[in-house]
Each structure stands twice: as structure tokens, then as C-alpha cells.
Structure 1
């Protein structure tokens, strides 16, 4: 089973997935307000043990998914992290010596099943399918060899982007990456127990059933362990922090002409062992 944050009857809960729905556990553990607090307490095994032998408290159709960690201290995204994605820049550089990073805010994401929001200021809404890791054990200057032991869980991310706004400035893309509810995360958090869950798994994005992005994490220019080591060099990682690990080539901006998302589209981001994150599109 997987960890999940959801809203039912106007109230947010956390719990675990169950057959035909979800099982709310937040009421049984009031000391932990969100899944971030569960992770911080090292209590994932305790929470999973509370599920055994029980059925869903909220059947499918009676709740909506929220992003798995609704209150992370920080979300850091890795850009240009696949060889074909790097080639799109046509700068003659085989691989960048250091990874590109930028922040996103939790408010810029919505949950599984909810629409990505296209703002009136720009219709250049684009998709980027990615795997995200959730930090379980914090630290500073984490050695790459120890990095996997700092992961609590995995989830999926559609790192929705307003393309023309990422080009408003010379040195950053932050303003194009942080429109309210322009991206999505979820549907759940898969507990991390084995490096094989991240080292070489298939990642795909489909739009209206058409395969647009496809690659494997084993081809990342900067593997997840290196991401954790590098990021923790300059900032202390804490439990519940999220690292969005990079998207393959094939985003809408790379078509000629570009294909932007529009109301009625359905985007599905899938990865082996994690599941599928599905979202539509709606105008603000």
C-alpha cells in the first residue's frame, strides 16, 4: 500500500491506499498533522502496520487527491537531466558539468485527478513528466554513497510550465514554473525500500493517449544519489523536502509548431513501480 493525502467533505486527511479507496489514519495519529510529520518522526512503518487487515474508510468517488506532502519546506527541481533533453539546447555541450536547479512552491501543484490551470496571461501551458523523491532523513553534505538512505518515498510529478514566462528573465525560470496549480503531484507516495525503485525505471508521459515522453532513469545525466549529494552541499535537506528529478525530451514546446495544453486535454505521467498521475486542463 502507499501513503496518500486527500480531502473528503471539506477536511484534509492522510492515510494509505486501500482496495476501492483510501483508509484515513490521521485521526488515529493526531500527533502527526501531515505526512511530512509522519516522515519526520520516522513513523512510516508504524503507519503501514496500522493498515493491515482493514478496508477503505473512503471509497473511490468520495474524496479528492491532494499532493502527497502538502507542506514541504522546499521543492527543488532539476532541469536538463536527460541526454536528449540536453541536446535540445544545441550548445555543443555533451553534458553540463553541474546540474540546473530551480525552486517550486507547493501552491503551484494540484493533486491527481484535478485539472492543471491555464492562466489568462498565457496559453503556453506545457507538461513535463518526472519522478519526485521525498526526503526522509535530513542532512547536510550527504555523501553520494549514502544518499539513497535519505529517501522516504517516491511520487510522480507533472512539472507544468508556462513557457513564455520562463524566458522573461536572463538567469532564472522561476516565474514560469510557479503559477498556481499549473503542475500536479501524486497520486500517492510509494515507500522507498530499495535503490532499484529509482536507479533504472521507465518514465513516460502521454497526452490524450499519445506517447510524448519516454526514457529511463538509468540515463539521467545526474542520478538521484548525485542530486541529493549536490543539493545538500549548499542547503540542509529536511524530512518532507521534495526533489523533482528531471524530465525527458518530448514536451510540447519541442514540436514545430509547439503544441500547448488546452482545456479538454488529459495528461498521464507513469513510472514503473509508482503508478500513473492523471490530470486534465482547465482555464482559470
Structure 2
């Protein structure tokens, strides 16, 4: 069962994705105002069972897709997490012993089928296709052996970046990674049930039908279990937290000349067992 968050007439709802549209469920569970609350209560199975008893309430095209967990406490992104991505930096350095991390704000993401926003301050809007994991069980100093048991669900991310703002200061990337509406998460949550859903999964990004990024999670420098363990060393992970796990080589900045996103482009991020996240581009 796939679960999603959507907006109709200015009201944000959540529910299950049916064959022809959305099955609204939030009215049946007023104690859970968002999917973050469902996850925290370990209610994914409960709401999925309810969905089986209901018909589609909102056909496709009658609502706006939102990011599945609209109110996470934190979103943490893992950078330079595939072998070829490390080589792109051409600095002669081997893969680092520890992962690179940075935060993103929920406001920097929009949902499926919504356009990424290119700001007037820079034309360098770039794409990064990734898998995102949503934490379901709180923990601190989680062991790698137990890490995957803390995942509630999987989704997709286009970790859109304003490239020249990534190097606006001496050592941080926060500015380039947090422009309002520059990235996307979605379309839905796929409940996590088996390590096979994340340990060696194909991931790809297409721009206007052309494959730009393609790799497998089995080649990550820092696998998802290690990410959860490492991050939880310094901060408590709580239900609804999102970890964006890293992008393969092939972002637009790495072409010569660079291939920045422009209005009219369509970006499709896909992963085996999860689906596809599709977004256009608009100027702010």
C-alpha cells in the first residue's frame, strides 16, 4: 500500500494511492493530523487496512501532491555517496572515512508533478535523484545491525540544488541546498518491510527522457544502515525524520558545458520497488 499527502481546495489531507486516484483516510483518524503522526503511532498497517474498505475519493488531476511527510523534525542529506561522485571532485582524494552531511528544510521541497522553482538570483538549478528513508522508530546511537529496523518507509527525492550558492561561503553548502521549492520528495511512502528494498536497488534520473544518472544502492560508499547508525551518534532520530541517502554521478554541473535545468524541462527520478517522482521547472 502506498500512502501520500495531498491538498484539495486549500486543505491538506493524507490517504492511500488507488488505481484511479487518492483514497482519503485522514478524516477517519483525526488523532493523526499528518503521516508523521501515523508513523509515530506505528499506524501504517492500520491505515492501509482501512484503505482496503474505501473507494477512491479524489481522482488523479483533482488534487495537488505534497511531500509525503510535510512536517518532519529534520531532513538530513548524505553527500558524495557513490564512488563515481567522489571521483567527480578531481581532488586526488580517496573516499572519505566519514560521510558528508547537511540539513535541508521542508520548505525547500515540493511534491510530485509540481514544478521546481528556479530563483532569479541564479540560473544554476541542478537535479540530484535519490532514495529517501523515513524513520519510524526513535533511537540514539543505533547500532548498524539494528539500523534498518528503525525505517518506516521509503520514498524518492530530487535534491534540487542551486550550484553556485553551494560555494557561497568557505566550507558550507546550506545556502545552495535550501531555496524554497527547489527540490521534490514523493510521490508516496512505500512501507519498509525487508532489507532487500534498499540494499541493492536500481536508481536513475532522466531529464526530458534522457538518462543522466544511473546506479545501484549496493555501490553506496556509506550504506543506509551505516547512515542511520552514524547520524544517530550525534542526534536522536525520531519518527518522521527523513534521510536523503545520496545521488549517483551525472548531475548537470558535471557536464561540459553544464546542463542546468530550465523551464519546460521534465525530471524523472525512479527506483526499483518505489516508483517515479516527476517534476517540471518554473521561474520564480
Shorter-chain TM-score: what band?
Answer: over 0.9
Whole-Å Cα distance in 2 between the matches of residues 238 and 171 of structure 1? Answer: 28
State the TM-score, normalizing by the size of structure 1.
0.99
In the TM superposition, residue 171 of structure 1 has moved relative to its aligned partner by: 1.3
- Corresponding position of 2:282: 282
Runs of 4+ with deviation above 4 angstroms: none
SS at match of 2:198: helix
Whole-Å Cα distance in 2 between the matches of residues 29 and 35 of structure 1? Answer: 11
Whole-Å Cα distance in 1 between the matches of residues 259 and 61 of structure 2? Answer: 32
Structure 2: give runs of 5+ residues left out of the alignment. Answer: none
- Corresponding position of 2:159: 159
Whole-Å Cα distance in 2 between the matches of residues 49 and 247 of structure 1? Answer: 34
In the TM superposition, residue 8 of structure 1 has moved relative to its aligned partner by: 1.0
167-176 or 214-223, which deviates more = 167-176
SS at match of 2:46: helix
- Corresponding position of 2:72: 72
In the TM superposition, residue 54 of structure 1 has moved relative to its aligned partner by: 2.7
Contact 1:84–1:249 (Cα < 8 Å) also in 2: yes
Whole-Å Cα distance in 1 between the matches of residues 44 and 211 of structure 2? Answer: 35
SS at match of 1:199: coil
Whole-Å Cα distance in 2 between the matches of residues 271 and 19 of structure 1? Answer: 19
Whole-Å Cα distance in 2 between the matches of residues 48 and 93 of structure 1? Answer: 47
51-60 or 201-210, which deviates more = 51-60
Whole-Å Cα distance in 2 between the matches of residues 150 and 273 of structure 1? Answer: 19
SS at match of 1:262: coil
Say if 2:175 is the partner of 1:207. Answer: no
Whole-Å Cα distance in 2 between the matches of residues 37 and 51 of structure 1? Answer: 17
Structure 1: give runs of 5+ residues left out of the alignment. Answer: none
State the TM-score, normalizing by the size of structure 2.
0.99
SS at match of 1:246: coil
RMSD of aligned alpha carbons: 0.6
In the TM superposition, residue 147 of structure 1 has moved relative to its aligned partner by: 0.4
Whole-Å Cα distance in 1 between the matches of residues 139 and 182 of structure 2? Answer: 30
Whole-Å Cα distance in 1 between the matches of residues 257 and 92 of structure 2? Answer: 24
Counting matched residue pairs gives 284
Whole-Å Cα distance in 1 between the matches of residues 169 and 11 of structure 2? Answer: 39
Whole-Å Cα distance in 2 between the matches of residues 255 and 93 of structure 1? Answer: 21
Contact 1:19–1:55 (Cα < 8 Å) also in 2: no
